[in-house]
Amino acid sequence: MPVFSLDPAQKHWCDELRAVAADRLRPLAEKGGPGRINRPLVAALGELGLLDRMLTAGALDLCLLRESLAHGCTEAETALALQGLGSYPIVQSGTDGQRARWLPEVAAGRAVAAFALSEPGAGSDAAALALTAVPREGPDGPGWLLTGEKRWISNAPEADFYTVFARTTAGAGARGVTAFLVPADRPGLTGTPIEMLSPHPIGALAFDSVPVSAADVLGEVDRGFRVAMDTLNLFRPSVGAFAVGMAGAALEATLAHTADRTAFGGPLKDLQSVSHQVAEMATRTEAARLLVYAAAEAYDSGAPDVPRRSAMAKLFATETAQYVVDAAVQLHGARALQRGHLLEHLYREVRAPRIYEGATEVQRTIIAKELYG
C-alpha cells in the first residue's frame, strides 16, 4: 500500500471513528473530571471494540485509530493510547498466564493499564533508572523487593496494574533493567495524583519494598529496557498521529472561522496574510501525516530503520501540531482562549506530546545517532 494514500475502506473506517468520537465518546468525556480516569469512557472504548482493535493493530491501524479519535475527542484518544502503552509490553513479552489474566480485561475496558518508566531523576535519560529491585527469597520462590519512586506516570495512581521498569543490576545502565507487571493492590505500593496542565490523570508512585516474583517478569531479567524501547518504537509514530489529529481539528476550525468571519470589508480568508497562514498550516499538517504513515508502514514491514523513522514522525508531527494550534488560536482571536472553546482545549492538550515518550530533543538525538551509526 502506498504510504501517501489510504484505500476506500480505510478512509471509511476513519470517517466512522471521527463520528463515533464526536457523537458517542465526547459526551462521556465531558462528564469526566480533570485529572481522573474516566472509567465510563474506557468502558465505552471496550464496548465499541476499539481497545481490542488497538491491542491487535499494526502500527498503521494504531495511527489511524489515534488520529481519527483525536480529531473528534482527545480524551478518548488518550484513554485508548494509555491502555495500549501500559498493556503492549504484555502483548509483546508477557507469559500466557499474564496475557490471559489481563488482556481480556484491558480489551473490555474493565482494567486500566499504566506504563511506569519515568522517575524524578530519569525522564529523558530512561537508562538512568534508580528504582531498585533487591533479590529476596519469598514463599513463592526467589523474587525481588521494589523500592523507589516513579513520577509523571499517566493513569497513576488509579490504574489497576502497572508495567514497571526497575534496576536489577547496579551499574549496568540500560542492560540492568527488568520489566515487571505489578498489580495496583501489591503491598507497599502507594500513589498520589499530580495536578497538570493536561487534563488526563498523571501521578507519582512510591514503592516501599513491593514484592514481585519471577511470575511478574515481562520478558527476561535485565532485558527490560528492550521491552520499553520496543513499546516506544511502536507508539512514537502514533503519538505523531495523535498530534496530526489535533492539528487537523484546529485546521478545520480555522477554515470555517476564516470563511465566515468578516473584517476590513470582507471575510478573513480574502486577506492574503490569513490565506497564506492557513495554506502553511495545511501543508505542514499533511507533511506530518505522511511522515507518520511512512513510519507506521516501516514498522509493519519490519524495516531496519524503524527507530529513526519513529523518532522523525514524533518529532515533526508534535512540533507541527504545536505550530498549527497556536496559529489557529491567533487567527481566531480572544474567543479561542475562552474556557470551553475547542482551541482552548487543544491549546492545553497539544503541549505535552512534545515531552512525553521522549522529548523533542531526545528524538533529535535518536535521529542523529541513527544517521551517524
Catalytic positions:
357
Strand partners, 34: none
Those residues with Cβ within 8 angstroms of residue 139's Cβ, 6 or more apart along the chain or in another chain: none
What are the φ/ψ torsions at residue 9 (nearest 5 degrees)?
A: -65, -40
Q: Please, which residues bridge with residue 114 across strands?
A: 162
Residue 80: all three cell numbers together: 485508548
Planar angle of CA 311, 317, 319, nearest 5 degrees: 100
C-alpha cell at 316: 515533526
Which of 88, 90, 56 is closest to 217 using CA atoms? 90
Q: If residue 206 lies in a helix (H) or strand (E), which one and from where to where?
A: strand 202-213
In this structure, the dihedral spanned by the alpha carbons of residues 332, 335, 339 and 340, taken in order and rounded to 10 degrees, is -70
The enclosing H or E element of 106 equals helix 96-108
Question: Phi first, then psi: what are they for 223, rounded to 5°?
Answer: -115, 20
Distances in Å between the alpha carbon of 65 and those of 74, 101, 132, 244, 330?
12, 25, 36, 12, 29
Closest CA to 241 of 198, 204, 290, 279: 290
d(CA 192, CA 34) in angstroms, rounded, equals: 15
Task: Answer for the pair 149, 119: CB distance below 8 angstroms, yes or no.
Answer: yes
Which residues are CB-contacts of 50 (< 8 A; sequence separation ≥ 6)? 17, 65, 69, 80
What nine digits make up the cell of 291? 511522515
User: What are the grid coordinates assigned to 358, written together?
Assistant: 521522549
- Strands 262-263 vs 202-213: parallel, antiparallel or unpaired: unpaired
